[in-house]
C-alpha cells in the first residue's frame, strides 16, 4: 500500500493538515535541542519519505538511521536528504539490527498505529534504547472528537480519504489510514500500554484536538 502512494505521500499529508504536520515534526527537533537530550545515535522508524528524518539531521548526530517497509519511499528519501551520517535500510519485520542499549532516541512519526505486530516492536525498541533514552511518537490517536465534532468527522472521515485516494491514484489507501485511527488507542490508553514494556511518559504534547499528539517516552531504569 505504501509503495502505491509514495509519490504523493508528502503532498497529501501537507494538504490534509494544512502543512501543520511539518510544524509538529519541527517541534520534536526543537524539544530535543532545547532540552539537551542526548542524540548521538538516532533511529527513525517508519521514516517514509524522510520528513521526520530531515528534521533530525539538523541535530547533527554521529549517526542517524532511518528505516521503512516501503522501498519506494526510502528511494525518495535518499534523493531528498544528502548526509554522510544518514543510513537507510529496508525492514519487513519487527527485528531491528542493533545491539542492546545502543540508541539514544527512537522516533516514529505517523507510522506506529499501522504496525501489525506492535507488541514485538515495543520490545525491540525497549531493547535497543539506552536507559533514559527517548522513544518519541507523533501520531493520530482515537479521540471522542472524531465522533462528536461534525466538521472534524466530515473532514477526516469523508473529505480527506476521497482527496487522498484521488491524488494518490489509490482506490482505498486513505480509507484504511483513517479507519486505522478509529481502531487505535486514545493517547492516554497508548501511554498506559507503553508502561507494560518499560516506558514512562516524560512529556505529552497535544497538537490538535487531543487527536494528533506527540508522546515523549523514556526507557525506565531497572
pLDDT in tens, 14-64: 788 889 999 999 999 999 999 999 999 999 999 999 999 999 999 999 999
Task: Give pLDDT, residue 1.
Answer: 61
Structural domain of residue 25, as residue ranges?
2-219
CB 134 within 8 A of CB 106: yes
Query: What's the pLDDT band for 6 if we cut at 50, 70, 90?
Result: low
What average pLDDT does the segment 177-189 reach?
Answer: 89
What is the model's pLDDT at position 29? 99
- Chain segment 117-165, per-residue pLDDT in tens: 999 999 999 999 999 999 999 999 999 877 787 887 787 778 878 887 7
Q: Are 136 and 216 in contact (CB under 8 A)?
A: yes
Q: Note the pLDDT of residue 116.
A: 86
Counted domains in the chain? 1
What does the pLDDT look like over 50-104, one tens digit per residue? 999 999 999 999 999 999 999 999 999 999 999 999 999 999 878 999 999 999 9
Q: Whole-angstrom Cα distance, residue 30 to residue 42?
A: 15
3-state secondary structure of 20: helix
Contacts with 66 (C-beta within 8 Å, 6 or more apart), sequence order: 43, 44, 47, 50, 53, 74, 77, 86, 87, 88, 89
CATH (domain of 138):
3.40.50.150
Q: Are 204 and 213 in contact (CB under 8 A)?
A: yes
Amino acid at each position: 500500500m505504501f509503495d502505491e502512494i509514495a509519490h504523493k505521500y508528502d503532498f497529501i499529508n501537507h494538504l490534509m493538515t494544512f502543512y501543520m504536520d511539518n510544524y509538529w515534526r519541527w517541534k520534536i527537533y526543537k524539544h530535543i535541542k532545547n532540552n539537551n537530550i542526548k542524540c548521538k545515535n538516532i533511529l527513525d522508524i517508519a521514516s517514509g519519505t524522510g520528513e521526520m528524518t530531515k528534521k533530525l539531521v539538523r541535530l547533527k548526530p554521529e549517526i542517524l538511521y532511518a528505516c521503512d517497509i516501503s522501498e519506494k519511499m526510502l528511494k525518495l528519501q535518499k534523493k531528498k536528504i544528502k548526509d554522510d551520517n544518514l543510513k537507510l535500510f529496508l525492514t519487513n519485520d519487527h527485528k531491528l539490527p542493533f545491539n542492546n542499549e545502543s540508541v539514544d532516541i527512537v522516533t516514529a512519526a505517523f507510522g506506529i498505529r499501522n504496525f501489525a505486530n506492535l507488541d514485538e516492536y515495543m520490545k525491540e525498541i525497549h531493547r535497543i534504547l539506552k536507559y533514559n533514552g527517548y522513544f518519541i511518537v507523533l501520531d493520530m490517536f482515537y479521540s471522542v472528537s472524531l465522533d462528536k465534532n461534525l466538521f472534524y468527522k466530515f473532514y477526516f472521515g469523508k473529505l480527506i480519504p476521497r482527496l487522498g485516494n484521488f491524488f494518490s491514484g489509490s482506490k482505498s489507501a486513505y480509507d484504511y489510514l483513517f479507519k486505522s485511527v478509529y481502531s487505535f488507542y486514545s493517547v492516554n490508553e497508548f501511554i498506559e500500554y507503553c508502561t507494560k514494556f518499560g516506558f514512562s511518559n516524560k512529556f505529552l504534547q497535544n497538537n490538535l484536538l487531543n487527536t494528533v499528539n506527540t508522546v515523549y517516552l523514556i526507557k525506565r531504569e531497572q
